[in-house]
Structure 1
Amino acid sequence: MRLRLVPETTNIDFFGRARLTFGASCVAMVLSVVVWAMFGLNFGIDFQGGTTIRTQSVQSVDIGDYRAAIAPLDLGDVSITEVFDPTFGDDQNVAMIRIQAQDDQEAVTAETIAAVEAALQEVDPSITFPSVESVGPKVSGELIQTAFIAVGASLLAILFYIWLRFEWQFSVGAVVALFHDVIVTIGIFSALQIRFDLATIAAILTIIGYSINDTVVIFDRLRENLIKYRKRDLREVMNISVNETLSRTLMTSGTTLIALIALLILGGDVIRGFVFAITWGVVVGTYSSVFVAKNVVLFIGLNREDKPTDKGNQFAGIDA
């Protein structure tokens, strides 16, 4: 027996309230922008500036003990990660400690660094500090700019690819859905003041890739069904296409969420922001693939007199 999350044949009317679902998505985007403008983002060290201290010890790294030793210094955002490398010996236990720039200061002062080192030496007398590196406000500003350029460039590349693979209406729908995913994700990070750093940007780019994959699967089935059901209404063909791919969508999203929720609960503080972003993105991306991307195509409409053909447009044969 095969496991099925949904019946083999479903007939759910996904687009019966297309204006309501699309309107809700637009409201969510507007609210996200408003929250972002009001509260801003809780930038991490990568974007705010700060100092990274590399430690090395013969004893194993205990992140909990390190964090407890530094906590009384009240340094704000402190990130502690253990560094794993197969070339390290048994007596080489390395960690990276990142401390955000303090108020009214461009970098962490030498006194603060000395206080951190003294606190860690109380926990582990054998600890040494091979390197100390600082990230100033100028570099942080450049990282912010580069990160948003990376997200924007990925959206433009996807817009171009979907236009080549399908029709221009499909590419507009796909990019609007991805834009929705990015804005709503940034909005939830702003509302909850979750740390926003380079790992979050990586998560957003992962969300974009995951969401567009789901969108393309449904678009591909829609293109096939537009050929198969030439006389049926576009809304009806869309419903057929989403219902036919529903089992695949739920199975893919469901299994991904199982792994992500486990990481979210058990993965620790270091990766929590990254995992939360992807978890949220899987849910929002699955929703937007149907209720944003397809609604945009539905509202724009398609010329079904001569398109799509059995090969789509002239670029439809391009491999993904």
Structure 2
Amino acid sequence: MSDMKIINFMALRKMAGALSIVLVLSAIVSLAVNQLQFGLDFTGGTLIEVGYEQPPSLVDVRVQLETAGFDGAVVQNFGSEKDVLVRLSQTFNDKVGEQVLAALQSASSTPIELRRSEYVGGQVGEELTEQGGLGMLLALAIVMIYVALRFQIKFSVGAVVALIHDVLIVLGIFSIFKLDFDLTVLAAILAVIGYSLNDTIVVSDRIRENFRKLRKATSVEVINESLTQTLGRTLVTSITTLLVLMALLVFGGELIHGFALALTIGVLVGTYSSIYVAANVLLMLGISHEDLIIPPKEEVIEGEGFEEGEGFEQDEEDLERP
């Protein structure tokens, strides 16, 4: 073993495994019951942004829209308390933005500015619903094949389980807290997959290397030393990424708030899964030195291919020649 102090990560593997199971099951139940709060990118509808001179009451704005016939409108602040974003689940006509503005202006004593009015069709959502699942399964299959070819089949199972674990937890949090799920959040989840896979491969590479070097160590000892050696790199990568994401959450505005939030959750969960989920799966599958030791090359037996004494007779003949 090396001289560095080895952290016994795997002493908590049962507790970590139980925590992961609880989180994943909670996410699955919430996705089945609450489902995801799909944004206009998926459902289709109208997005209208208006600007007030004084911060309005969102409850009053919602009542004004319902009185004008816009039922089910989602009203929220966008960036500042003076900016209001209105989401309508139906696309009425090309003048719906002006109709909403007129309805709000009639109940306001100060001018209201129409910032934008966008119409989103549901075609994107239909295509993602039909093809997204197949695309995700294909991606996981490719990852599993890649890791199996580069390392070993047990490593590929651990990597795929860690990816599924990370994605389900991120989706579950958005479902439990009923946060809007739009295309930016979907992009963040794809980024989480890449981040988590890269971290898992780095750890797996060190585990494979140490299994070949530490022949007398147990599987738990090898994994603990490997995780300890890669801990510094993992923490530096995660912390620097989180610093950027914190800045995006605070100063990025509403347009990328969902993206930054999903990616922040994904980085935290991905760092945890690289240490406990992937390594835990390896131990559950019984990873051992025999799985990773390179078979020695067959040595050439002395005198193989010659009759007994043939080589020596040839040498004597060569010596007798002038």
Shorter-chain TM-score tier: 0.7 to 0.9
Where does residue 89 of structure 2 map in the other structure? 101
**1:141 Cα offset (Å):** 2.5
Does 1:38 pair with 2:33?
yes
Flag structure 1 segments of 5+ consecutive residues without an equivalent.
1-7, 56-62, 82-96, 312-320
Q: For the structure 1 residues 289 and 306, does the alpha-carbon distance in structure 2 shift closer, same or farther, using more than 3 Å as the test? A: closer
| CA deviation vs aligned residue, 1:39-91 (integer Å, no higher than 9, x gap) | 111110011111367x9xxxxxxx7559979963363167979xxxxxxxxxx
Structure 1 range deviating more: 152-161 or 257-266: 152-161
**1:33 Cα offset (Å):** 0.6
Structure 1 range deviating more: 14-23 or 138-147: 138-147
**Which residue identity is paired with 2:275?**
V
Does the 8 Å contact 2:78/2:254 carry over to 1?
A: no
Q: How does 1:126-165 map to 2 (within 5 A)?
A: 133-136=119-122, 139-165=124-150
**Which residue identity is paired with 1:11?**
I
The percentage of aligned residue pairs carrying the same residue is 40
Tell me how far apart the structure 2 counterparts of residues 241 and 201 of structure 1 sit (CA, whole Å): 33
Equivalent position SS for 1:51: strand
Tell me how far apart the structure 2 counterparts of residues 306 and 139 of structure 1 sit (CA, whole Å): 45
Tell me how far apart the structure 2 counterparts of residues 298 and 229 of structure 1 sit (CA, whole Å): 16
**1:281 Cα offset (Å):** 0.3
**1:109 Cα offset (Å):** 4.6
Does 1:242 pair with 2:240?
no
Where does residue 272 of structure 1 map in the other structure? 257
Q: For the structure 1 residues 189 and 124, does the alpha-carbon distance in structure 2 shift closer, same or farther, using more than 3 Å as the test? A: closer
Equivalent position SS for 2:215: coil
Structure 1 range deviating more: 204-213 or 259-268: 259-268
Tell me how far apart the structure 2 counterparts of residues 124 and 77 of structure 1 sit (CA, whole Å): 16
Tell me how far apart the structure 2 counterparts of residues 142 and 69 of structure 1 sit (CA, whole Å): 38
Does the 8 Å contact 2:41/2:125 carry over to 1?
A: yes
Flag structure 2 segments of 5+ consecutive residues without an equivalent.
67-72, 80-84, 106-110, 297-322
TM-score, normalising length from structure 2? 0.74
Q: For the structure 1 residues 158 and 194, does the alpha-carbon distance in structure 2 shift closer, same or farther, using more than 3 Å as the test? A: same
TM-score, normalising length from structure 1? 0.75
Does 1:182 pair with 2:167?
yes
CA root-mean-square deviation: 3.2
**1:117 Cα offset (Å):** 5.8
Considering only CA atoms, is the larger Rg found in Structure 1 or Structure 2? Answer: 2
Where does residue 115 of structure 1 map in the other structure? 99
How many residue pairs get aligned? The number is: 273
Does 1:255 pair with 2:240?
yes
Where does residue 293 of structure 1 map in the other structure? 278
**1:255 Cα offset (Å):** 1.0
